[in-house]
């Protein structure tokens, strides 16, 4: 049984579909939380006049029960709001991963040492959804040594597959084939 490696375009498409699913779930959870909040607020209308609960009065039992129900509905609305916020955070992270994968998938060729020289500024992928920008210190066979600003101890060495863009002479290039055309 042979397993096929996922292409960058397939990965970007899969991550975009995942991000869209998570966004839809987050939006739905937000709507549920807002509806629960409105429902809980409506349950307090009986107490809007400021009349305290009168112990021993014939209305005390039902008023107490109504207040307990409203309190429980408020707690539930708060739980739903927290869950909606968690799902929204997950959706934002998934969208950032999908955007990064789409940037990688847009390339027609891979970056290599021939595309860089000392002094270029590059944007590279740090994690699945974070990027950073540094100046090239050294061009190596499999990676770039970048100036991390700490005197060598924290100089990043991203492999060429993590490079997203190169800046040289005020020109930004995101696809290595554009760099090859510019050199021709």
Q: Is residue 54 part of a domain?
A: yes
Q: Are strands 171-173 and 131-139 parallel, antiparallel or unpaired?
A: unpaired
Q: Is residue 126 part of a domain?
A: yes
Q: Is residue 39 part of a domain?
A: yes
What CA–CA distances, in Å, run from 71 to 41, 67, 130? 10, 6, 42
**CATH code for position 135:** 2.30.30
Q: How high is the pLDDT of residue 73? A: 93
Would you write out the chain's pLDDT as a tens digit for each of its 184 residues?
Answer: 445 788 889 999 999 999 999 999 999 999 999 999 999 988 878 777 666 666 777 767 777 888 888 899 999 999 999 999 999 999 999 999 999 999 888 888 889 999 999 999 999 988 888 888 999 999 999 999 998 777 666 778 899 999 999 999 889 988 888 766 656 5
Claim to verify: residue 87 and residue 16 sit in the same structural domain: yes
What angle, 0 to 180 degrees and rounded to 10, lies between the N-to-C axes of helices 8-43 and 60-105?
160
Q: Is residue 1 part of a domain?
A: no
Q: How high is the pLDDT of residue 1? A: 46
DSSP state of 143: B
Kindly give, in sequence order, each residue whose CB lies less than 8 Å from that of residue 88, ignoring residues fewer than 6 positions away.
Answer: 26, 29, 30
Helices (H) and strands (E) in the chain, counts: 3, 5
CB atoms closer than 10 angstroms to residue 27: 14
Residue 119: domain span: 113-183
Euclidean distance between CA atoms 137 and 152, whole angstroms: 10
Check: CB of residue 129 under 8 Å from CB of residue 146.
Answer: no
Claim to verify: residue 12 and residue 69 sit in the same structural domain: yes
- Whole-prediction pTM value? 0.76
Claim to verify: residue 91 and residue 25 sit in the same structural domain: yes
Euclidean distance between CA atoms 99 and 32, whole angstroms: 28
Judge residue 36's burial from the number of C-beta atoms within 10 Å of its C-beta, 0-12 exposed, 13-18 middle, 19 or more buried. buried
Last residue of a domain, one of 71, 105, 139: 105
Count of domains observed in the chain: 2
Claim to verify: residue 128 and residue 82 sit in the same structural domain: no
Q: How high is the pLDDT of residue 108? A: 86
């Amino acid at each position: 049984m042979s397993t096929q490696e996922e292409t960058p375009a397939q990965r970007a498409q899969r991550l975009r579909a995942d991000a869209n699913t998570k966004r839809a779930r987050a939006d739905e959870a937000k709507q549920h939380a807002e509806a629960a909040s409105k429902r809980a607020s409506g349950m307090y209308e009986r107490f809007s006049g400021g009349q305290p609960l009168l112990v021993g009065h014939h209305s005390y039992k039902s008023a107490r029960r109504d207040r307990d129900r409203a309190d429980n509905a408020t707690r539930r609305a708060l739980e739903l709001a927290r869950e909606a916020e968690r799902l929204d955070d997950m959706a934002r992270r998934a969208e950032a991963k999908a955007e990064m994968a789409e940037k990688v998938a847009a390339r027609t060729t891979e970056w290599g040492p021939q595309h860089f020289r000392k002094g270029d500024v590059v944007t590279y992928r740090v994690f699945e959804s974070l990027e950073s920008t540094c100046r090239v210190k050294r061009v190596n066979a499999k990676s770039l040594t970048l100036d991390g600003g700490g005197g060598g101890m924290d100089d990043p060495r991203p492999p060429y597959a993590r490079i997203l863009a190169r800046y040289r002479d005020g020109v930004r290039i995101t696809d290595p084939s554009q760099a090859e055309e510019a050199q021709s």
